[in-house]
Amino acid sequence: MEYLVSHYNYWVYILLMMVGLYAMLAKNNLIKKVIGMSIFQTAIIVFYVSTGAKREASIPIIAHGHGHDAAHTVIEAAHYANPLPHVLMLTAIVVSVGTLGVALAICLGIYRRYKTLEEDEIQEQLHDSL
Amino acid sequence: MILYEQSPALLVVIPLLSAFAINIFGLYNRRLCFPIAFLALAATLGAATMTLARVLQAGPISYRLGGWPPPFGIEYVIDHLNGLVLVTIAFVSFLAVIFAKLSVEKELPDKIPQFYTLFVLLVTGLLGMTATGDAFNLYVLLEIAALTGYALIALGDNRALVASFNYVILGTIGASFYLLGVGHLYIMTGSLNMGDLLTILPGLYATRAIFVAFLLVLCGVWLKMAFFPLHTWLPNAYTYAPSAVGCLVAPLVTKVSVYIMIRVMLSVFSSHYVFEVLALTGPIVWLAVAAIIFGSIQALAQDNLKKMLTYLIVAEVGYMVGGVWLATGYGISGAILHIVNDALMTFCLFVFAGIVTYKTGGHMLSDLQGLYRKMPVTMTGFTVVALSMIGVPPTAGFFSKWYLILGAIEAGSYHFMVALLVSSLVNAILFFRIIEITFFEPKMDHHTGHAPEITINEAPFSMLMPLLVVALGLIIIGIYSGTIVTNIIQHSVPGGLL
Amino acid sequence: MIWQIDLSVLSLIVLCGFATIMVKDLLSAAIIFGAYSFLMCLLWTEMGAVDVAFTEASVGAGVSTILFIAAAYQTTRIVKPRKSGRIFAKIVALAASVAMGLVLLAAQTNFPGFADPESPASLHLSPYYITQTLADTAVPNMVTSVLADYRGFDTMFETAVIFTAGLAVIAILRRVKHIDRCELPDPYTISAGSQDNIIRFVSRQLVPFMQLFALYVVAHGHHSPGGGFQGGVILGASFILLAITYDIQLVQQRMNEKWNILLGNIGVLIYASIGFICLLLGANFLDYSMLSKILPATDPVMARSHGMLGIEIGVAIAVMAIVVTIYLNLASNGKLDKGL
């Protein structure tokens, strides 16, 4: 039970990554592949944020922290969650939405040209044109 | 002097700021885009050269961004290895933009501002990846280079969109594996700085998590460099991209990924861990042999010039990965020297393909007929590059192959040596076949009854100049290979292997 | 950190993940993906990552969902079943996923327990950030100080990434000549004629509050969850709301393509220029303490705080412009005439 509580986060992220990778490689529809890509990337974010979680710790913002009178309150690291993974994941979320935009633009371009979003139909059209 | 001290930061900041300048001015006047890009990349080449000179004079540089000491802030660490790669990137991209001017005006006339902006941003990403000493910063710059690459490749016509989509999926898997590997390192050590990780990791070498971290980073980087069998995105993506894009991405993106592999192997996990604790050198060298053989055979089977060149890239990546994993001094030196040489050779070959496309409109091998008479200067340059690819002294290609073969003998990996020799043979067949085609005159014209006139219709100067400069450079680098290896590359090889 | 809530939210997330892959309708897949993202937000809040939750809510759940819907609108809703067998591809994909899963499972046996305060990540770098943020930068929100100051270089490139994405969408979708007419195979109207007076009225009332809140988020990012990205996305979302409820033309009248590109550039330029000014003043790139030389009556610590505010404003402007651009181009397939 102890082991379950301390490790289930990691099992879930591994499961989500497997779902995402399978969708990216096996699915026929291009937009489903893109959805799989998003799931893959958010699974990694689950992993990173889990590294930053701390039992009995508060959010990483120091309350009553305006001005210089905060200097006499003692700030203990154990009271606040770890801010570094949060920063890294802010970057990762923005990067993943950027990649999503580019991938969807390419999908639209492909649909405009081939009139289909299914990979096997596109391959057929490519083979026919050779 | 500000420029001198700040050169590590400047070589990334200059292209970044100029990308926005290109985009803003491009809204008003498209003709300003090329001059700004030209000046920016020239300045970047200057900054990169100055940085390398500093490293040669005074040893590795550590530059603190934001003024924060590592590991709390992000750090740029420039030593001999990435100083050399930085100069290569700046040099090739400067010449690529010169080539791009006419090519883009013909192939992408309505997208000129976007092209140059994406071009310069790609160069920024590559330079930043090479200069950084922070594992997560590398990921962000990897994504900049990747996104610009996806967009630039998708600008081609024909099958470029499908090829680019495939690249997006596989490239994202690669980058995400790298990110996950860094995450594993972080959760076990708490640090992201490469130097810091090097000191913390030795206590953790026996754990599975660190082994998996290494595997994840390795697989991610292998996907990015198109190492067999993860190469499937490369041939289509580079064949159908616009010519100017091919001249930039083909020489540089895969080589920078090889650099990242070397950097992670030697400066994050130490050479002791990679070569001695893990028992992977044997299987990976076999994979490299498979990459070389596969790339060479596939290249033989193509009748599309550009696709043939892309399979040659797959083989060349096999040289470099195998060279590093031979785990000997000669092998690693040969691999690092080959990064520089292969960047220059691939650049020349893609410029040649670009010239052929510009002049004849196609890039099949049959379009090369009669080129020998029509474009003698271009063919001279091409012949030099061909000799370098085959490995004929005194061109640079011979020396890097020589070091690699010495490394193979030193390590006892005779199968790698055989693969290198087979590849040289195949390259000889390929390139002599091309040169033979260019000697052929086109057939008689049936309507007029006599052979068409062959007049000299040489490539324009702005396209010819990069080809010739680099061809000359290959000879010069070949002659000075010994100096380069002793003064620059030897410093990067880990001490126990020399 | 109540693990029962954690576990149930995670299970729902996995369910949504499976569902979004398996449904046969792209619009449903997009909506379920939106639910997946919102559940992720809940998870982050519960784990104490409020800034990440805020960003995921605005960027992940908000913008990603609407981009998927726009893409589904411009292409097709229906996912056709595979024509030929192609069992081989499925087997390879399954094998690859399972192999990766097993490798990762082997790794996690060494991981420190979830939420362990003694884990290496919690003991190595982060205590410095937590204890020193007020002394070094006078900013109570540690995530903002790490994001904008200690690791500000990463953030600059992250803004460049979103800029690149916007530029790439324009470059890929814009076709000046030979426009292939794209007929929509399934008739698809979300709003028809004058029946949406209620929607239009309500959204018109909402927009100024959204924008005011977005400006608050940008300005107050130092003291509460928020910052440049979240504020910029909310600002962009206010325009997207107008574009959905009315028409793309309405948004084009107020913020045309040229202004979008200009603002996107100016935003990132503000960021890079602040760093460059610091370089010219003699310090390293992005060392804001040097700004105390040119800003009146500030010491180096407050100069860092002001520098951070400056770059957050730059980020907000850039992100707003780019998010609007990406949506407008995707929803109209590059032609910018009519959209959702």
Q: pLDDT tens across B258-310, in order?
A: 999 999 999 898 888 888 887 888 899 999 999 999 999 999 998 889 999 99
User: Which one is predicted more confidently, C295 or B216?
Assistant: B216
Last residue of a domain, one of C57, C90, C109: C109
- For residues B96 and B350, what is the distance between their CA atoms, to the nearest angstrom? 10
Weakest mean pLDDT among A24-33, B165-174, B206-215, C108-117? C108-117
CATH code of C49's domain? 1.20.120.1200
Per-residue pLDDT tens for B407-442?
A: 999 888 899 999 999 999 999 999 998 888 888 766
Which residues of chain C make contact with A98, given a CB cutoff of 8 A? 161-162, 164-165
Dihedral-angle region of residue C286 (phi above 0 means left; psi in -120 to 50 means alpha; beta otherwise): left
CB B267 within 8 A of CB B82: no
Measured between alpha carbons, how far is B230 from B233 in angstroms, rounded to an integer?
8
Residue C123 lies in a domain: no
How confident is the prediction for chain B on average, in pLDDT?
A: 88
Give the helix/strand (H/E) hosting C320: helix C300-331
Both C211 and C319 in one domain: the answer is yes
Please provide the average confidence, as pLDDT, over all residues in chain C. 85
User: CA–CA separation, B345 vs B353, rounded Å?
Assistant: 12
What is the span of the domain harbouring residue C30? 1-109
Q: Which of residues 109-128 of A touch C (CB under 8 A)?
A: 109, 111-113, 116-118, 120-121
Using the Cβ of B144 and the Cβ atoms of chain C, whether some distance falls under 8 Å is answered with yes
In sequence order, what are the beta bridge partners of B78?
A: B61
pLDDT of C298 higher than 80: no
Write out the CATH class of domain A2-59+80-129: mainly alpha
Whether residue C42 is predicted with pLDDT greater than 80 in this model: the reply is: yes
Region C156-184 average pLDDT = 76
C34-39 average pLDDT score: 94
Residues in C closer than 8 angstroms to B213, CB to CB, are 107
Whether pLDDT at A71 is above 80: no
Instruction: Tell me the pLDDT band of A76, cut-offs 50, 70 and 90.
Output: confident
Q: CB-based burial of residue A113 (10 Å sphere; 0-12 exposed, 13-18 middle, 19+ buried)?
A: middle
DSSP structure class, residue B62: E
CA of B485: how far to CAs of A82, A130, B85, C35, in Å?
45, 47, 13, 57
Radius of gyration of chain B (CA): 22
- Residue C298, classed as helix, strand or coil, is coil
Residue B136 has pLDDT above 70, yes or no: yes
Does C315 reach chain A within 8 Å, measured CB to CB?
no
Residues C84 and C232 in one domain: no
Whether C54 and chain A come into contact, CB under 8 Å, resolves to no
Under 8 Å between Cβ of C134 and A33: no
Locate B52 and state its tokens.
């390398």
pLDDT of residue C339: 61
B121 part of contact set with chain C, CB < 8 Å: yes
If you average pLDDT over residues C309-333, what whole number do you get?
A: 91
> Domain locations in chain A?
2-59+80-129
Separation of alpha carbons B207 and C106, rounded Å: 10
Phi-psi region of B496 (alpha: psi -120 to 50; beta: other; left: phi over 0): alpha
Residue C298 forms part of a structural domain: yes
For chain A, positions 43-62, list CB contacts with chain C under 8 A: 45-46, 49-62
Whether the per-residue pLDDT at C188 is higher than 50: the answer is: no
C-alpha span between C210 and B472 (Å, rounded): 61
| Contact criterion met (CB < 8 Å) for C276 and B24 | no
Q: Which residue type sits at C39?
A: L
Query: Which tens digits make up the pLDDT trace of B303-347?
Result: 889 999 999 999 999 999 999 998 888 888 899 999 999 999 999
Shortest CA gap A2–chain B (Å): 20
CA B322 to CA B283: how far, in whole Å?
10
The reply to whether C230 and C316 lie within a common domain is yes
Gap between the Cα atoms of C281 and C292, Å rounded: 10
Q: Which band of pLDDT confidence, cut at 50, 70 and 90, is reported for residue C182?
A: very low
- Mark which residues 234-263 of C lie under 8 Å from B by CB: 258, 261-262
Provide residues of A within 8 Å CB-CB of chain B: 17, 21, 24, 30, 33, 37, 40-41, 44, 47-48, 51, 84-85, 88, 91-92, 95, 98-99, 102-103, 105-107, 109-110, 113, 122, 126
Q: How many other CB atoms sit within 10 Å of the CB of residue C306?
A: 16
What digits encode the pLDDT tens for the residues C204-239?
899 999 999 999 999 998 888 888 899 999 999 999
Residues of chain A found within 8 Å of residue B179, distances taken between Cβ atoms: 44, 92
> At B455, is the pLDDT very low, low, confident or very high (cuts 50, 70, 90)?
low
Residue from C31, B48, B221, C130 nearest A58 by CA: C130
Beta carbons of B328 and B493 less than 8 angstroms apart: no
Terminus-to-terminus CA distance in chain B, angstroms?
37
Residue C115 belongs to some domain of the structure: no
- Asked whether residue C130 is domain-assigned, the answer is no
State pTM to two decimals: 0.93
Q: Judge whether residue B217 has pLDDT over 80.
A: yes
Quote the tokens at residue B1. 């002097």
Chains touching chain A through at least 3 C-beta pairs below 8 angstroms are B, C
Q: Alpha-carbon distance B404 to B415, whole Å? A: 12
Is C191 in the same domain as C289?
yes
Chain A contact for C332, CB < 8 A? no
Of the pLDDT bands very low, low, confident and very high (cuts 50, 70, 90), residue C126 is: confident
Is A53 a residue whose pLDDT tops 90? no
User: What's the complex ipTM?
Assistant: 0.93
Same domain? For C88 and C151 the reply is no
d(CA B312, CA B297): 9
pLDDT in tens, A92-126: 999 999 999 999 999 999 998 888 888 888 888 88
Q: Does C99 touch chain A (CB under 8 A)?
A: no
Phi, psi angle pair for B328, to nearest 5°? -125, 165
What is the longest distance spanned by two Cα atoms in chain A?
A: 76
Tokens of B25: 């001015």
The sign of the dihedral angle between the CA atoms of B106, B110, B116, B122 is negative
| Closest approach of C234 to chain B, Cα-based (Å) | 23
Using alpha carbons, list the distances in angstroms from residue B346 to B27, B59, C115, C279: 33, 30, 50, 36
Using an 8 Å Cβ cutoff, are C264 and C325 in contact?
A: yes
Cβ contacts of C219-223, under 8 Å, gap ≥ 24: C219/C309, C221/C141, C221/C144, C221/C312, C222/C139, C222/C140, C222/C141, C222/C144, C222/C305, C222/C308, C222/C309, C223/A61, C223/A65, C223/A66, C223/C139, C223/C140, C223/C141
pLDDT band at C184 (very low <50, low <70, confident <90, very high): very low
Q: What is the number of alpha carbons within 13 Å of residue A51 lying toward its C-beta?
A: 31
User: What is the Cα C242 distance to its own chain's centre?
Assistant: 19
* C209 and C306 assigned to the same domain: yes
Residue B137 structure tokens: 């910063």
Cβ-proximal residues to B231 (8 Å cutoff; 6+ apart), any chain: B291, B314, B317
DSSP result, B253-314: HHHHHHHHHHHHHHHTS-HIIIIIIS--HHHHHHHHHHHHHHHHHHHHT--BHHHHHHHHHH
Nearest-neighbour CA in chain A from B147: distance (Å): 7
Tokens in use for B15? 């292209």
Q: How confident is the model at residue C41 (pLDDT cuts 50, 70, 90)?
A: very high
Find residues 192-221 of chain C whose CB sits inside 8 Å of chain A.
Answer: none
Interface size between A and C, measured as CB pairs under 8 A: 314
Do C25 and C105 have their domain in common? Answer: yes
Per-residue pLDDT tens digits for B374-414: 888 888 889 999 999 998 888 888 998 999 999 999 888 89
pLDDT confidence bin for C192, thresholds 50/70/90:
very low
Q: Which of B140, B191, B215 sits opposite C154 (nearest CB)?
A: B140
Task: Give B127's pLDDT tier (boundaries 50, 70, 90).
Answer: very high
Distance from CA of B223 to the nearest CA of A (A): 14
Chains touching B by CB (3 or more pairs below 8 Å)? A, C
Distance of CA A7 to the CA centre of its chain: 19
pLDDT(C181) > 60: no
Q: Of all residues in chain B, what percent carry a pLDDT higher than 70?
A: 96
pLDDT of residue B46: 93
**What does the pLDDT look like over B72-92, one tens digit per residue?**
889 999 999 989 999 999 999
Residues C204 and C86 in one domain: no
Q: Is B479 helix (H, G, I), strand (E, B) or coil?
A: helix
In a domain, C77, yes or no: yes
Give the DSSP per-residue string, B163-211.
HHHHHHHHHHHHHHHHHHHHHHHHHHHS--BHHHHHHHGGGGTTSHHHH
- Verify that C249 and C194 share a domain, yes or no: yes
Structurally, chain C folds into a number of domains equal to 2
Neighbours of chain C (3+ CB pairs under 8 A): A, B
> How far apart are alpha carbons B309 and B349 in whole angstroms?
7
Residues 6+ apart with CB under 8 A from C277: C290, C291, C294
Restricting to C residues 256-295, those with a Cβ less than 8 Å away from any Cβ of B are: 258, 261-262, 265-266, 268-269, 272-273, 275-276, 279-280, 282-289
C278: its two tokens: 């610091």
Q: In this predicted structure, what is the pLDDT of residue B238?
A: 93
Q: Is residue A66's pLDDT more than 70?
A: no
Round to whole Å and give the CA distance between A99 and A105: 10
Mean pLDDT throughout B451-477?
Answer: 79
Distance CA A56, CA C275 (A): 38
Q: Could you write out the three-class secondary structure of chain A?
A: CHHHHHHHHHHHHHHHHHHHHHHHHHCCEHHHHHHHHHHHHHHHHHHHHHHHCCCCCECCECCCCCCHHHHHCCCCHHHECCHHHHHHHHHHHHHHHHHHHHHHHHHHHHHHHHCCCEHHHHHHHHHHHC
**pLDDT, tens only, B32-47:** 899 999 999 999 999 9
Consecutive H or E run containing B61: strand B61-64
Q: Which of C258, C253, C245 is nearest to C207 (CA)?
A: C245
Instruction: Among C90, C109, C128, give the residue marking a domain's end.
Output: C109
Give pLDDT, residue A64.
Answer: 67
Return the bridge partners of B76, or none.
B63, B132
